[in-house]
Structures are given as C-alpha cells and as structure tokens.
A and B are shown apart, each in its own frame.
Chain A
Amino acid sequence: MTRSVLVVEDDARIRRVVQLTLAGEGFEVVEAGSGEEALDALRHHQPDVVLLDLVLPGIDGFEVCRRIRRGSDVPIIMVTARADSHDVVAGLEAGADDYVSKPFVPKELSARVRAALRRANGASAPHTITVGPLEISPEDAVVLRDGTRLDLTRTEFRLLCELASSPGRVFSREELLERVWGYGYFGDNRLVDVHVHRLRGKVEDDPSRPAHIVTVRGMGYRIQP
C-alpha cells in the first residue's frame, strides 16, 4: 500500500526536491504551496504524514498545525528555520510530532517520515492495559478515561503506551526518544517534554499537578501504577 505525504512548503524548488526524494522512496506526494492549500488538500486526500514548513505566506505553519489537529491525528513533521529557537517548542505545542531544520539532507527527511509512519502504526502490546482510571487498547488505538474516549494524536498515544508498558518504571528522555521517535543519543529532549506536557493536558485532572504521568527529577518520566 502506497503511503502518501502532504508537503506544505512555499518554495517551489524545495517542494520539487522533496517531492523527487520522497517519490524516489516510494511515497505518494501531495504538494501544497500555502496554508490554505494545505488545509484544502487535507480535505481531499488522506495523507499518512504531513511535512509542514512553519514559514508560510498567509496563515502560518503554527495555525495550520492547530487547524489540522482539530480534526486529525495525522503525524505532522514541521520544518523549522533553526533548531534552537522557540519555534520548535511553539510548533510542538501547536500539535506537531517531530521536526527537521533547514538545511536538511533528504536522507534525514525520509528517515523522519518513516519514523512517523512506524509510530502511527503503533501497537507494541496486543492486550488492553489499565493504569489508574486509564484503559489503553493498543490494537484499536483507543484510550478511555473513566469510560470516556480521549482524543490523542498517534505520537501521544505511542508515548502513553511506552510509559504504560511498565507502570512504575522510570523512562529516561533518551529512552523515550529512541522508542517513540527513533532518535539516537542526540535527539532533542524537548520533543519528549512537550509531548508529555500535551499528554498530561488530556489525561490528568489537574495538568499542573500531575497524578498519573509524573516527572522524576534528573531521571525522566514514569506512569503511576
């Protein structure tokens, strides 16, 4: 089955190169030159991954990200100008799952796309896990809290599954980066931190005082059994 990638990028040269690269890797590529086009394309196609440049004419990447998230859990990889700017955190908070920064080499890009797809396929444990009020069914990609279905993105879901696979065990950020995002030692820990933050906003009663997903200072995160 051919996987499709929506490439949102205002620069035609980059769009073309990305299209050629991803097509060469066997992906079907849908192109969009602006935020409006992207939202429009999203209605007609069902991409498996969205590659989203944050700097766009018209509605910007952050807004596009937020609008996509209103109705979809599709993995979003943002393309940022720089790795150390606040853009990364802002983009992740707007709902992106991962990022690459310019200038990127095509290999890096396709590796990120494939990692996103792996994440979306999810399901590491076949049976339902119950942690406190949460009931996680990895196979159906469904989380219930006190019987109510929660709206998680694929990456959030994957992160929750990893943490819930051994309740009470502390997972380091590096470990989560590798297991969920497929990064090595030098992955960006902010990916984990922002996703945990987002996840808490959905599963905790009071996200500022988390009772389920807790931080272990200097070590990482764990889920309370």
Chain B
Amino acid sequence: MTAPPGDATGSGRRHGAGRLRRWRSLRGRAALAFTALAALLTAVTSTGVWLTVSQYLLLQRERVTTAQSLANADRLQRGLRTEGLSAPQLLAQLPRETGSTSLLVDGGQWFTTSLRVGRDDLPLPLRRAALRGEASHQRIQLGGHTVLAVGVPLQGEGRAYFEVFPLDELDETYRTLGTVLLVAGAVVPVLALGLGWWLTRPALRPIDRVGAAAAAIASGQLDARIDHHGDPDLVPLATSFNRTAAALERRVRADARFASDVAHELRTPLTAMLGALSLVEQHRERLPGTGREALDLLQEEVDRFSRLVQDLLEISRSDAGSHDLVLEEVDLADFVCQALPEHAHPLVTRGPDGDGLVVRTDKRRLRQVVANLVDNADKHGGGLTRVTVARVGRNAEVLVDDAGPGVDPAERERIFERFARARGSASSSSEGAGLGLSLVERHLQLLGGSVTVVDSPEGGARFRVLLPLEVAPWRR
C-alpha cells in the first residue's frame, strides 16, 4: 500500500485539528463558556475593587493631610502673630510626618524646611489659589515620586502655607493591590477552565453513555441499551434510542433467524438425500453408463449443496449471535498439518518460531478456516503452493500461498463478502459460490484473529491469517 502524498505533513495538521475538535466538543465549549464567565466576573470585580479601594485610600490620605495642613497653618498663623520667632524657626517647629515638607510664602518671600522642595516645585494654580484665599490640594510628581501638595491661605496679604506630603506608601499599597488583582485575574480563568472541564464531566456523562451504546450497536452488539438511571433529562432520549435499537435488533435477528431456519429446514431433506444417494452408490456397478454419469453428477451437486447448507447455517448462526466457542489449546503447526489433505503435508513450512506455537482456539472452526482456504486455493488459485506457520510478535501467522493469478487489489476486501467471487477469476464454473472465504473471516473474527489477502512473492495470492498467541501456563 502506498501512502498518499503529503501524508507525513498532514499528520501534524490532523493532530492540531484533533485538539481543536476537542475544544469544539460540547464539553469543551461548556468549559470555555464557564471560563469566559469567570474571567468576566473576575475583571468586573477586580476593577470595582480597584476603583473603590484606591479612591477610598486617596480620600483618607487627603483628609488626614488636609487636616494636618490646616492645623499647621493655624499654628503658623498664631506664631507669626506673636512675632517671637522668625518664619524659618516657626516652620521648623511645626509637627510634621516623616518626609513631608512645609513651605511658607510671606509677601513674595519663600521659606521651606527642605532644600529639595521650593516655590517652583509647587504648581502655579495651587500657589495662586492659596494666595487668592482658597485652600486646595493637588497630586503632583516631584523628583520621580508622587506627592500631595496642600495649599492653605493665611491671614495677611501675600501669605500662604503649603505642605507637601509623600504618597509613596499609598503608591506601594496601590501596586500591591494591583498585583493581587492582576494575579487573581489571571489565575481565576485558568482554575475556572479546569473546574469547568471537571464539572462538566458528570454533567455530560449521559452523552458518553449514549455514545457508548451507539458505538456498541454499530460494532454489532445489538443488545446494547441506554440506562437512563432515572435522569429526567435523559429519559426521552434513552427511551427513543432504546426503542430504535430494539427494533433494529428484532429486525436483524429475524433476518438471521430466517436464514438459519431455511438452512435448518434444508438439513433434514439433505440428510435423506445424502443417505439415499449413498445407497444408490452401493449399486453403482449395476447401473448403465448414462446412469452412472448422472449419479456422479448428482453426487457432486448434493455434496456441494450440503457444504453450502452447512456454511449457511454456520454464518446465520454467527449472525444471530449464537456461537458457542469450544476453546482448546492446540499446537498450530501440527493442527494445520492435520487439517490439510495428506498430499499437501510436504507444502507446510515452519517459519521463524513456527514450532511449538500454542493457540487457544475452537478446533472445529479453525479446521474449517484451513479447509476453506485450501479449497479456495484449489478452485480459484491454481492449487496450493505453500503453507507457512510462523510467529509474528504476539500473534501466530498462517500464510496460504497459491499458484493462481493473485487477487486484484480492488477485489481484496470484496472476496470476503458472501457469494462474492473474484471478477476475472480463472474459474468460470459455478464452483464454490463463495461462502467459504466469508466464513473464514467470520470464524477468525470470533477467534480473535484476522485474515487478509496479499500478493505471494512467488506470484499467486497469499492469504494471511493472524491468531492471538496463547502463552501456555505450563510454559510460562
């Protein structure tokens, strides 16, 4: 068999497509929806928390700093009025929190408690507002840090008090809060995906059950049904599925039974015919020439008919599912030899490890497999050329080669169908209108094996039978 072009590259694509299909499954979609919902909720909650908390923290800070500034401005006012101390001394005496700076403008002269913060660091609108007599505050950047500048007007022309508070701590808090919210925003959807995948499994288990039942029926197990376990969502589906399956089963069984009944009914007259014929056969010598010829013809046809009826019975029985396997351990090479007609014994070759291969099998059926393959080789393959018994991995292999023209690749599956005969077969007679190979395939399926047809290296057809090996307990 040749691989179609592009097959190697196609496998990666197929793999990707498989993964995609998995997410497009019901369960995948449910899990994804679950994830999306979780992500959305997390985003909304995070934003809300962020806005509320940051707003609240800022307000708190502003309230504290404004109160502090107002208190300091008040203290400064009183200090200036008593005129005991100079403006820089007064400023230095004011209680301040760590890192904050106090500034005083008095008639255009600026005083500050820190060399790093001067007049020009304060924004103009703040300065103007304070000098106009309005208290205000503003968040500004100062030397790479966020600070809050508060301006408080003082009594007297051109006089105002400013205080600059660091907001580093608040920024730190913002950063921590932001990180926590972002991490939560990233982790929650992942957890939600996992949780969704896990939670949807029990929810979708009924679908698995339906799928399993449908697959079982497709594979020929016609009595498979769905048990709805009283699940009200599943009851209507299960009921109609089971009803359909039951109807199908009845139909298939009825068909099979009909075939079986027909074959069954044929058996009694057939037995009578075989018996009567054999009685006539005993008096063959007393018959005239034409009578003998007619007898031979009859004998041949009755034999063929008998085989056909037996094959038909065998097949209809396996259709109806009533197959009682009688399993025994046999030495395969010996068995194959015994199943062949004596003149074919020299054609048997034991391949690698072909000796002592033990299979656990139904002797009657396996014998029929071998007999039918040999029969096929004789009738359609110009005769048997070789039978090889070998071990291939965990299987035993039986190769049956013939001297015929081989089987056309297009026919290789069809020849195992009932009453199929290879087109272009050399034999145009009505010989062996094929139930034989169909039965071979059936039997091997039952025995856990398989049959395929390939070209024999010598030119004819090669039927390749695989059977699972039994590891005999006493040889383990």
Pick the residue among A14, A85, A86, A188 that contacts B275 (CB under 8 A): A14
Contacts of B325 in A (CB 8 A): 84
How close is A14's CB to chain B, nearest CB, in angstroms? 6
B278 contacts the other chain (CB 8 A): yes
Contacts of B267 in A (CB 8 A): 81, 102-103
Pick the residue among B264, B275, B324, B339 that contacts A106 (CB under 8 A): B275
Interface residues of A in 90-105 (CB under 8 A from B): 102-105
Contacts of A186 in B (CB 8 A): 338-339, 363-364, 367
**Inter-subunit contact B268/A11 (CB<8 Å):** yes
B464 contacts the other chain (CB 8 A): no
Number of interface residues of B (CB under 8 A): 35
A17 contacts the other chain (CB 8 A): yes
Q: A97-139 interface mask toward B, CB cutoff 8 Å, 1 = contact, 0 = none?
A: 0000011111100000000000000000000000000000000
How close is B361's CB to chain A, nearest CB, in angstroms? 12
B473 contacts the other chain (CB 8 A): yes
A224 contacts the other chain (CB 8 A): no
**Inter-subunit contact A20/B275 (CB<8 Å):** yes
How close is B320's CB to chain A, nearest CB, in angstroms? 12
Q: Which of B276, B278, B367 has the most CB of A within 10 A?
A: B278
Contacts of B310 in A (CB 8 A): 103
Q: A54-78 interface mask toward B, CB cutoff 8 Å, 1 = contact, 0 = none?
A: 0000000000000000000000000
How close is B77's CB to chain A, nearest CB, in angstroms? 113
Contacts of A82 in B (CB 8 A): 313, 317
Contacts of B306 in A (CB 8 A): 103
Chain B, residue nearest A216 (CB): B474
**Inter-subunit contact A217/B473 (CB<8 Å):** yes
Known contacts: A21-B275, A106-B278, A107-B278. The answer to whether A217 contacts B269 by CB under 8 A is no
In the assembly, what is the distance between CA of A82 and CA of B318, in Å?
13
B285 contacts the other chain (CB 8 A): no
Chain B, residue nearest A173 (CB): B328
**Inter-subunit contact B326/A17 (CB<8 Å):** no
Contacts of A189 in B (CB 8 A): 326, 328, 363
Q: Which of B275, B322, B363 has the most CB of A within 10 A?
A: B275
B347 contacts the other chain (CB 8 A): no
**Inter-subunit contact A13/B274 (CB<8 Å):** no
Q: A214-225 interface mask toward B, CB cutoff 8 Å, 1 = contact, 0 = none?
A: 000111000000
B270 contacts the other chain (CB 8 A): yes
Chain A, residue nearest B269 (CB): A13
Pick the residue among A86, A102, A185 that contacts B338 (CB under 8 A): A185
B309 contacts the other chain (CB 8 A): yes
Q: B295-338 interface mask toward A, CB cutoff 8 Å, 1 = contact, 0 = none?
A: 00000000000100110010001000011111011000000001
Contacts of A21 in B (CB 8 A): 275, 278-279
**Inter-subunit contact A103/B271 (CB<8 Å):** yes
**Inter-subunit contact B313/A105 (CB<8 Å):** no
**Inter-subunit contact B282/A24 (CB<8 Å):** yes
Contacts of A218 in B (CB 8 A): 329, 472-474
B218 contacts the other chain (CB 8 A): no
In the assembly, what is the distance between CA of A11 and CA of B313, in Å?
20
Known contacts: A17-B279, A83-B364, A84-B324. The answer to whether A104 contacts B474 by CB under 8 A is no
Contacts of B269 in A (CB 8 A): 13
Q: B79-96 interface mask toward A, CB cutoff 8 Å, 1 = contact, 0 = none?
A: 000000000000000000
A-B residue pairs in contact (CB < 8 Å), sample of 20: A17-B276, A20-B279, A21-B278, A24-B279, A24-B282, A82-B313, A82-B317, A84-B323, A84-B325, A84-B326, A85-B324, A86-B324, A102-B267, A102-B271, A103-B270, A103-B310, A107-B278, A188-B364, A189-B326, A218-B473
- Beyond A81-B267, A82-B317, A106-B279, 6 extra complex contacts between A and B, CB < 8 Å: A85-B324, A102-B270, A103-B270, A105-B274, A188-B326, A190-B326
